[in-house]
Amino acid sequence: MSSPPETGSLQGLKFRERFPLLALIIERLLLSLVLLLAVSVLIFGGVEALPGDFATTYLGQSATPQAVANIRSELGLDRPVVTRYFDWLGGVVQGDFGTSWASRNSVSEQVGNRLGNSLFLAGFAALIAVPLAIGLGMLSVHYRNRMPDRIINIISLAAISLPEFFIGYLLILYFAVNFGIATFPATVFDGMSFMDRLKAIALPTATLVLVVLAHMMRMTRAAILSVMSSAYMETAELKGLSGWRAIVKHAAPNALAPIINVVALNLAYLVVGVVVVEVVFVYPGMGQYMVDAVTVRDMPVVQACGLIFAAVYIFLNMLADILAIIANPRLRHPR
């Protein structure tokens, strides 16, 4: 933290100089907001600019021009793009994502139910994966270039190359079908007890953990290793600190900022991994909803899901940057 300036000169100082940390954080928040707005334009505008039309897809190639015009006006597609964009954005800000073209239901209602399910699944996977990855990363650094490190390295290299659905089906085949100790499909519904819910998401969670674990661990290892090669670590070694003590007390705190970054990056990746895993396990979340909508070209649903996924992704990246600013003294006092 900066030392408090003398009270007499407070008026003369700008906000930026008085609270450099706060100013940086606010700057980062505003940047994310601008980014989110730009993404909304990209998702809406991109969809409009690309060729392809729901009305003709929906009615088939042989539809009469009159029928196409009818359905276009019914869905409001005959109004100018800019008007529709601001209508859409105005609704989104108030939590209204419009109505689905395919089912004529409210998109917000579906999203409300499913977003909770997805976040529950991803959050639970993160809860297991993050401590495990950081612990394994530190273990790997401790034994670097020796047998445990090599084994972890080879296994993680293999794990990075496995597609999510392959891990998912492998787990289903062994744990649900052959041994019968887990449930498939992972159905959850309202009023389900917490323990039942946990049991249902055991396999999807395990899949997600395996998917992000290797990435996170390798990046943690790299982050700590780069700190390990600095001069003060040599000093720690020369003054006779034990290997573990040097890692935990000296290396880890300085590797905090890059590790936070790694974690947030992988949590963002988790959000995407959820899409495939939900389809594999027939889990009623956002990912399944989006994939179904893409198949029938139900644009309001696709746009809503796209925007929400992007928002979560941007939010996590922003969180990482802000935490890194707080964790790194050099960023707290730029120049």
**Contact set with other proteins (CB under 8 A):** 35, 38-39, 42-43, 46-47, 50-52, 157-158, 160-166, 169-170, 172-173, 177-178, 184, 218-219, 221-222, 225-226, 268-269, 271-272, 275-276, 279-280, 290-291, 293-295, 297-299, 302-303, 305-306, 309-310, 313-314, 317
At its nearest, how many Å lie between other proteins and the CB of residue 63? 16
CB 186, CB 282: distance < 8 Å: yes
Question: What are the residues facing 106 on neighbouring strands?
Answer: 99
At its nearest, how many Å lie between other proteins and the CB of residue 222? 4
At its nearest, how many Å lie between other proteins and the CB of residue 7? 41
CA 273/CA 129 separation, integer angstroms: 13
At its nearest, how many Å lie between other proteins and the CB of residue 53? 9
Closest CA to 164 of 279, 317, 266: 279
Nearest to other proteins of 129, 299 (CB atom): 299
CB 334, CB 20: distance < 8 Å: yes
Nearest to other proteins of 226, 242 (CB atom): 226
Neighbouring C-beta atoms of residue 313, cutoff 10 Å? 18
Nearest to other proteins of 66, 211 (CB atom): 211
Nearest to other proteins of 19, 85 (CB atom): 85
At its nearest, how many Å lie between other proteins and the CB of residue 141? 10
Nearest to other proteins of 124, 289 (CB atom): 289
For the chain, where are the alpha helices, taking DSSP H only? 15-18, 20-49, 54-59, 65-74, 81-93, 107-142, 147-161, 164-171, 194-200, 202-228, 231-238, 243-245, 252-254, 256-281, 286-296, 299-327, 329-332
